[in-house]
Amino acid sequence: MSDAILIIGAGIAGINCALNAAKYGAKVYLVDDTASIGGMMARLDKTFPTNDCSICIEAPQMYEVDNQENIEILTGTQIKKVKAQNGVFQVRLVKKPKYVDEAKCTGCGACVEACPVSVPDEMDGKIGGKRKLIHMAFPQALPNVVAVDPACRSGEMRSAGACIGGCAVDCSQCRECPIALCVSACEKEGKKAIILWQSARKINLEVKSIVVATGIAEAPPAGDLLGYDVYDNVITGMQFERLMNAGGPTAGEIVRPSDGRHAKRIAWVQCAGRGLAQGKGVPYCSKICCMIATKQVIITKEHDASVETTVFYNDLKAYGKNFWAFYQKAKENGVRYVRGRPYQVEEDAETKNLTLRYENLDTGRIETREVELLVLSTGIVPSPGNPKLARVLKIELDPFGYFKEKDPLKAPLETSVPGIYLCGGATGPIDIAESVVQACAAGMKAVLRSEAP
C-alpha cells in the first residue's frame, strides 16, 4: 500500500511541506496547475518586515525541491477525481499540455525569440508587461521549460500575426509543423522539443495523505473601483510589486503606465473596495496588505528618496514580530500615513495625474490630494480554484471560500476528511513565515498518517 503524500499547490507553503516530508523520507507528489512551481512568492520583489529579496530566498528552495529524489513535480496539472478507499486516496490527475517535451526543452529561449507575437502578460498587463505566445513563466521557472499559449495553437492569435493555428488541419492531427517559427527555431538548435500535437496526459496516483496548499490571490478590483478600469495610472498592489521588481517588466523602474515617466507622487489606498457590495470588494480584513504597502513605500523611498508617498488607511495591521518597527521605519523615511479612505478619483486629462478626495478621519475634514500614480490595496482572496477542488476532495469551504478546518482549537490544519490537511493561503490570508510554519505542521501530520499502519 502506498504511503505517498500528494501536495496540491507548489507555492512557498507547498514547497516547504514537500521538502519537510521528503527529507523525512516520504514519497511526495508536488502538483501545481500553473507552468512552474514557486507560487505568489516568485512574483514578489521583496518580503516584509526584513525586505529580503523574495526570489533570492525562494529559488534555492525551488532548486532543492528539484534535486530531492523523492519529490515528483507535476506542473500544469489538475486534480480531477479523488476516491478514499481503505485508508488511501485514489487520485486521478490531468496534466495539461505545454506543447513542449519537458525532458528535451533546455529553456534556451530560441523559440521565444523566434515567436512574432507579443501579448500583454496576465499579471503585468497594465504596467506594460508583455510575453510571447511561447514563453517561460518567469526566468527562474522550474521546470525551466517553455509553454505554448493554447490560444495560439487554436488559431485565435492568427489575426495578431501568429504563424500557426487556423490551418485546415488541426494541430493534434499533425506530427510535424512546417510553418511554426518556434518549431523550426527549436529544430535549428538541434532539439525538437516543441510538440504542437501534444495532448493532455492522465495520471493515476495512490496516496496516503493529501495536503492542500492552494494559496491566495490578490482580489481583482471591480472595474469602476477608484478609476481602475478608466485611468491608466491606477494600478493594484501586486502590479506595483512587479513594477518595483528588478526582474519585472520595467526592470525595477517605478514608472507610470500612461507615459513611462518616473512617478514622483504616489499614493496607496488600503482596504480599497472593502465592504462594498457583493462581488465588488473583499468583505473582511486581509491582514497582510498594510505590511505589503509599508514594504512598497520603503522600497520606493530606497529607489528614490524624493518620491512623495502617502498611504491612506483605516486600522493599521502591524500584527507580527517587528512589524511595528517596520512601519516606524517607513514614517522615519518620510512616508505619510493618513487615516481615511478616498472615495473619489478624478484624472487630469492632460497630465494624467489623479486627484483623490477623502475624509481625513483624524481631523474630520474633507481633503484632496493630487498624485501621479495610485496603488489600490484590494485585499486577498482565496485561490479561484478552491470551490472545484473542495468538491473533488469532498471537504468544506468557509463562507469566504477558504478551506475549513474541522476543529481549529484542537486539531488545526485538519479537515473533515481524515488524511486531508491544509497549509498556507488555503486557510486564509497569511504571510510567508506563517505559511512555512503551517507547511511544517501539515507535513508532520501527513507523514504521521503515512507512518501509521
Partner 1 sequence: MNVPEVVAYARKLEHVVLADEGRWSCSVDYLSRLQDLIQEHAVNRVVIASCTPRTHEPLFKKTVKQAGLNPYLLEFVSIREQVSWVHMKEPGAATQKAKDLVRMGVAKAVLLEEGREIRLPVKQDCLIIGGGPAGLSAALSVAQQGFRAIVLEKGERLGGMLNRLARIRHDGHEAPAARLRDSLVDRVLETPGIRVLTGAEVETLEGYIGNYTVGLKEKDGAVGQRLHVSTLVVATGMQEMPPVGAFRYGEDPRVLTQLELERRLAAREAGEFFPDTGGESAASLPRLEETVKNVVFVQCVGSKNDKRGCCAIGCHVAVKNALALKALNPEIQIHILYRDLSMVKGEGAMLEAAKRLGIRFSRFPDENYPEVLEKPDGTLVVETTDLLIGERLELPADLLVLAVAFQGDATVEHLKGLLKVSASPDRFFQESHVKLAPLEFPADGIALAGCAKAPMMLKESLEAGTGAAMRVSIPMKRGYIEAEGIVADIDLSDCNQCGLCHKRCPYSAISVDSDKNPRVIKALCKGCGLCAADCPKECITIVHFTDDQVLAQVDAALLESPEKKIIGFVCHWCALGGVDMAGVSRLQYPVHARLVRVMCSARVSMKMMLRPFEKGAAGVLVAGCEFPTCHYISGNYAAESRIRRMKKKLARAGYDPDRLVGIWCSAADGPKFAKTMREMVKQFHLDQGDA
Q: How far is the CB of 61 from partner 1 (least distance, A)?
A: 7
Q: How far is the CB of 107 from partner 1 (least distance, A)?
A: 9
363: buried, middle or exposed (CB in 10 Å: 19+, 13-18, 0-12)?
Answer: exposed
Give whichever of 67 and 173 is closer to partner 1, judged by the CB atom. 67
Give whichever of 392 and 444 is closer to partner 1, judged by the CB atom. 444
Q: Count the Cβ atoms, other than its own, within 10 Å of residue 219.
A: 25
Q: How far is the CB of 360 from partner 1 (least distance, A)?
A: 11
Query: Are 229 and 273 spatial neighbours (Cβ–Cβ below 8 Å)?
Result: no
CA distance to 315, 340, 346, 365, per residue, from 374 (Å): 20, 15, 11, 21
**DSSP states of 198-256:** ---EEEEEEESEEEE---EEEPPPPTTGGGTTT-TTEEEHHHHHHHH-TTSTTTT--B-
Q: How far is the CB of 384 from partner 1 (least distance, A)?
A: 18
Q: How far is the CB of 235 from partner 1 (least distance, A)?
A: 20
Give whichever of 93 and 390 is closer to partner 1, judged by the CB atom. 390
Query: Are 395 and 403 spatial neighbours (Cβ–Cβ below 8 Å)?
Result: yes
Give whichever of 59 and 217 is closer to partner 1, judged by the CB atom. 59
Give whichever of 231 and 337 is closer to partner 1, judged by the CB atom. 337
For 62, what's the count of Cα atoms within 13 Å in the CB-facing half-sphere? Answer: 21
Give whichever of 139 and 223 is closer to partner 1, judged by the CB atom. 139
Q: How far is the CB of 173 from partner 1 (least distance, A)?
A: 28
What DSSP state is assigned to residue 428?
S
Quick one: CA dihedral 103, 109, 114, 115, positive or negative? positive
Give whichever of 80 and 104 is closer to partner 1, judged by the CB atom. 104
Give whichever of 120 and 252 is closer to partner 1, judged by the CB atom. 252
CA-wise closest residue to 115 among 214, 183, 51, 64: 183
CA distance to 92, 278, 390, per residue, from 416 (Å): 21, 28, 11
Give whichever of 30 and 162 is closer to partner 1, judged by the CB atom. 30
CA distance to 111, 177, 200, per residue, from 192 (Å): 11, 11, 19
Q: How far is the CB of 124 from partner 1 (least distance, A)?
A: 14
Q: How far is the CB of 249 from partner 1 (least distance, A)?
A: 11
How far is the C-alpha of 74 from the C-alpha of 204, rounded, in Å?
12
Give whichever of 69 and 122 is closer to partner 1, judged by the CB atom. 69
Give whichever of 136 and 234 is closer to partner 1, judged by the CB atom. 136
CB proximity list for 24: less than 8 A, separation 6 or greater: 443, 447
Q: How far is the CB of 56 from partner 1 (least distance, A)?
A: 4
Q: Is the peptide bond before 178 cis (omega within 30 degrees of 0)?
A: no
Q: Which amino acid is at 153?
A: R
Query: Are 213 and 33 spatial neighbours (Cβ–Cβ below 8 Å)?
Result: no
How far is the C-alpha of 386 from the C-alpha of 81, rounded, in Å?
14
Q: How far is the CB of 323 from partner 1 (least distance, A)?
A: 6
How far is the C-alpha of 300 from the C-alpha of 5, rounded, in Å?
42
Cα dihedral value 377, 382, 385, 390, nearest 10: -170
Q: How far is the CB of 372 from partner 1 (least distance, A)?
A: 23
